Amino acid sequence: PPAEGPARCPAAPAAAPAPDLFTWEFAADPYPAYAWLREHAPVHRTELPSGVEAWLVTRYVDARQALADARLSKNPVHHSEAAHGKGRIGIPGERSANLMTHLLNIDPPDHTRLRRLVSKAFTPRRVAEFAPRIQELTDRLIDGFATRGSADLIHEFAFPLPIYAICDLLGVPPEDQDDFRDWAGMMLRHTKAGHGGGPRGGVARSVKKMRTYLAELIHSKRAGLGATAAPDEDLISGLIRASDHGEHLTENEAAAMAFILLFAGFETTVNLIGNGTYALLRHPAQRELLQKSMAAGDSELLATGIEELLRYDGPVELATWRFATRELTLGGQRIAEGDPVLVVLAAADRDPARFTEPDVLDLTRRDNPHLGYGHGIHYCLGAPLARLEGQTALATLLTRLPDIRLAVEPDDLRWRGGLIMRGLRSLPVEFTPE
């Protein structure tokens, strides 16, 4: 008998093998792998770098359905492995920290109650009133490198802007904000595939310090609050005061809420500014179009442009965890009770079944219902703030440093390789000094 095993028919080559996921090459450009998955295995079971097995959902239509499917819970107690005490999912340190009751870990009716309360304090109006402060922060950061002619846009711009912005909004006093910058920097530096934390001790310590600080701040603000709201009241005071049918947030819930606002609104916005700037630097015609429209005082292209940058190479690669509370079928695939499901926003937003020429960056794109901010009841609460920060950051950068360009070859850039987030480690640029 032939030693090689069964002969293959030369006319029928085997289908291309499934691409390797979660390698460094994948981190640099996951889109070819996502195209393969959308076509050949749209609901695909895979082992994540952390060892947890999960379903990846890559087609737009399935992704949108999954994000709004009440049978998919956000609560990790529904994970089949939770029953075995493996507990590998979540923010390091949060379990012991009593921070589990945040919006991204809970379902209705608790989610409905907490979301309604926080929405009373974190309003689009509060964000709009914050616009001058964001502009001031943006200018101050650019002042720090504008005369030098070169900068690392991640470390000097995209990273500090969101952390200072959220600290300001929450009401963290200026003298304490650099501590937050250090703790957040530790978390960002050590985000690793599948974990959300590298040297877990260091990250967990930073999480703990933030948590302790926020708990104390909330406690002291609560004690100092008067009977009526001050006109310039900060968000933490607003959270403490928010009431719905006579209900308030407990001190623990307010701390968890402040923490998730920081956690959800920090690395995402770093990546929006980083990935967005990078995409513009790689598409000179699009960037020129944007610069011309801004010079003419037209802000419309900036608004559609930010949405397109989110679709094209958004900050959140995979939506956060969901767990099947019962057996269900998604995209024709049976999913067992307790199985984790990860919706791949980055893949859904490049689906040719929904978007015309999905791999083309088109800042003028109008038909753009991207899933970059999620969909359904967990739709991003911070979207107005993220839009404000993204628009202000990109507009100011391109106006003040009009000839800004990459200082290295794109192949020399390193991506962080996190599982949930997609972002650059650094973004070296050059420009004519101001």
For the CB of residue 74, give the shortest distance to ligand HEM in the complex, in Å: 7
For the CB of residue 158, give the shortest distance to ligand HEM in the complex, in Å: 11
Decide if 194 contacts 22 (C-beta within 8 A): yes
- From residue 94, alpha-carbon distances to 99, 197, 366 in Å are 5, 12, 40
Secondary-structure percent of the chain, ordered helix, strand, coil, rounded to 5: 50, 10, 40
Q: Can you spell out the DSSP letters for 71-127?
A: TEE--GGGSTTGGGT----SSTTTTTTT-TTSGGG--TTHHHHHHHHHHHHS-HHHH
For the CB of residue 411, give the shortest distance to ligand HEM in the complex, in Å: 26
Decide if 214 contacts 258 (C-beta within 8 A): yes
Which residue's CB is nearer to ligand HEM, number 192 or number 378? 378
Phi-psi region of 122 (alpha: psi -120 to 50; beta: other; left: phi over 0): beta
Which residue's CB is nearer to ligand HEM, number 322 or number 431? 322
For the CB of residue 4, give the shortest distance to ligand HEM in the complex, in Å: 48
Which residue's CB is nearer to ligand HEM, number 290 or number 421? 421
Amino acid 293 reads: S
For the CB of residue 117, give the shortest distance to ligand HEM in the complex, in Å: 12
Which residue's CB is nearer to ligand HEM, number 52 or number 431? 52
Q: Can you spell out the DSSP letters for 276-304?
A: HHHHHHH-HHHHHHHHHHHHTT--HHHHH
Angle at 404 between CA 401 and CA 410, to 5 degrees: 155
Which residue's CB is nearer to ligand HEM, number 40 or number 88? 88
Which residue's CB is nearer to ligand HEM, number 158 or number 401? 158
If one counts every other C-beta atom within 10 angstroms of the C-beta of residue 341, the result is 22
For the CB of residue 263, give the shortest distance to ligand HEM in the complex, in Å: 8
Where do contacts with ligand HEM occur on this chain (CB under 6 A)?
A: 67, 103-104, 115, 166, 260-261, 264-265, 268-269, 272, 314-316, 319-320, 372-374, 378, 380-382, 385-386
Which residue's CB is nearer to ligand HEM, number 81 or number 313? 313
For the CB of residue 13, give the shortest distance to ligand HEM in the complex, in Å: 39
Nearest position to ligand HEM, beta carbon: 382
Decide if 360 contacts 94 (C-beta within 8 A): no
For the CB of residue 413, give the shortest distance to ligand HEM in the complex, in Å: 20
For 76-90, give one letter per residue: b (16+ CB within 10 A) or e: bebbebbeeeeeebb
Which residue's CB is nearer to ligand HEM, number 218 or number 386? 386
Element (H, E) at 184: helix 177-189
For the CB of residue 367, give the shortest distance to ligand HEM in the complex, in Å: 20
Q: CB-based contacts of 257: which residues, under 8 Å, 6+ apart?
A: 102, 103, 114, 118, 239, 249
Q: Tell me if the bond preceding 109 is cis, omega within 30° of 0.
A: yes
SS3 46: strand
For the CB of residue 296, give the shortest distance to ligand HEM in the complex, in Å: 26
Which residue's CB is nearer to ligand HEM, number 210 or number 261? 261
Angle at 215 between CA 211 and CA 216, to 5 degrees: 120
Decide if 214 contacts 194 (C-beta within 8 A): no
DSSP 8-state class, residue 315: S
Which residue's CB is nearer to ligand HEM, number 82 or number 146? 82
Helix 383-400 and helix 284-295: axis angle, to 10°? 90
For the CB of residue 196, give the shortest distance to ligand HEM in the complex, in Å: 13
Which residue's CB is nearer to ligand HEM, number 307 or number 431? 307
